[in-house]
Amino acid sequence: MALVLLGINHNTANVTLREKVAFPPEKMADAMQGVRSLQHVSEAVIVSTCNRTELYIDVDIEGDQEQEFSPERMQQEQQKLLQWLSDYHGIDATELGTCSYFHWREDVIRHLMRVACGLDSMVLGEPQILGQIKSAFAVAKDLGAAGSDLGKAFQEAFSIAKEVRTDTAIGENPVSVAYAAVTLAEQIFSELRSLNALLIGAGHTIELVARHLIERGVKRIVIANRTLENAVKLGDKFGARGVLLSDIPAELEHADIIVSSTNSQLPLLGKGAVERALKSRRHKPMLLVDLAVPRDIEPEVGQISDAYLYSVDDIRDVIEDGVKSRAQAAEQASAIIERGVEEYLRQLRALNAVATLRAFRGQADAIRQAELEKARRSLEKGVDAEQVLESLARGLTNKLIHTPSVQMKKASAEGRDEVVRLVQELYQLGDES
């Protein structure tokens, strides 16, 4: 087996290019069939998210493994996958090549573990990527594209990700204002699934807030924006309803969570509107998170009973603490990953030894069977049993040590003394022996 990886992510390519190379679920079976039809590709897993597209491939190797793992061979594999990806999506291969990365051997498993642990994510330590990786592997397995080799690699990555989540604080603290806002909502409302959210604005921050809310099970989201088209467009991504800013008063009384992030120079939400909404809600608590600078929500709203208002300054300390905590946890996670890579490689080497031992035992059994048949024929001819046993023992000894003896003499003559030392180690022979 030879694991290789070709990919692009948020660090190497802009969103325009990432969109072009994404694989929608309905095309995954076709894509998997296409990549597996390439020469030497035996197994494949395609990971496709908003921030990355990665092809994990198991390549058949023949002959000398070191030669097959040569930089020249790996460059050929890289160009093959790059050309396939560019042809499949109709993108110039040169453009794609400048934004892609390629790994092989242990760097593949190391990268996979880092991705699964959230160390390679836009938001350090974000937990969603692990579920996305598991889903990608499950799809590949269902399509018959992922076998034992990639299966072992991905299972090891899942195991390491679990250890990192358990033993470090990589995912405990928020590191973005959007994530912090949703985390704050979880602290105030123990259960978010039954709540309604009103998001004001249609920029990147509000999109992230919507994504985090959806991931936590919130199903009823309204997005209000100055331009209705933009509100509807963003809402369509999450199954949310888009409205105008002028519709906010009507929507406010139904909203349990309000998050605002616009470029408005004047407040969009005042004390009076919130008081009226709370009266209609019979003073059911309302969380308001203002992520805008200048502020979208009048500070006086914070004086209202049952209205919990937080500005971006209020959650800044939470974010800074989260960044520091996750940075420290990332160092711990990296150490766990390195141990995981070493353990994975150790298991692979052990599997290689098992195959060699099986062949060695098979050869020895063949010699034993041949010598045993010769001994039986001698006994049938009436040859003395003592003589037959001695001949059997001598024949077994000579046949078993003949090939190693010839190879040791040859290696010694060529100056390859390490072969002789290895035999001494294998058979526990001292120098005197």
Catalytic machinery residues: 50
- CA 336 – CA 168 distance, rounded (Å): 10
Question: Could you identify the residue written with the tokens 């063949």?
Answer: 366
**Burial class of residue 190, CB neighbours in 10 A (0-12, 13-18, 19+):** exposed
- For the record, the structure tokens of 207 come out as 């999109």
- CA 306 – CA 300 distance, rounded (Å): 13
Question: Could you identify the residue written with the tokens 């470090």?
Answer: 168
- For the record, the structure tokens of 22 come out as 């994404």
Dihedral through CA 61, CA 65, CA 69, CA 70, nearest 10? -120
Enumerate the H helices of 175-264 as residue ranges: 177-188, 204-215, 228-238, 248-252
- CA 361 – CA 372 distance, rounded (Å): 16
Cis peptide before 285 (omega within 30 of 0): no
Residues 6+ away with beta carbon under 8 Å from 195: 185, 189, 218, 220, 256, 257
Other C-beta atoms closer than 10 Å to the C-beta of 91 total 15
In whole angstroms, how far apart are CA 274 and each of 20, 199, 285, 314? 43, 15, 11, 20
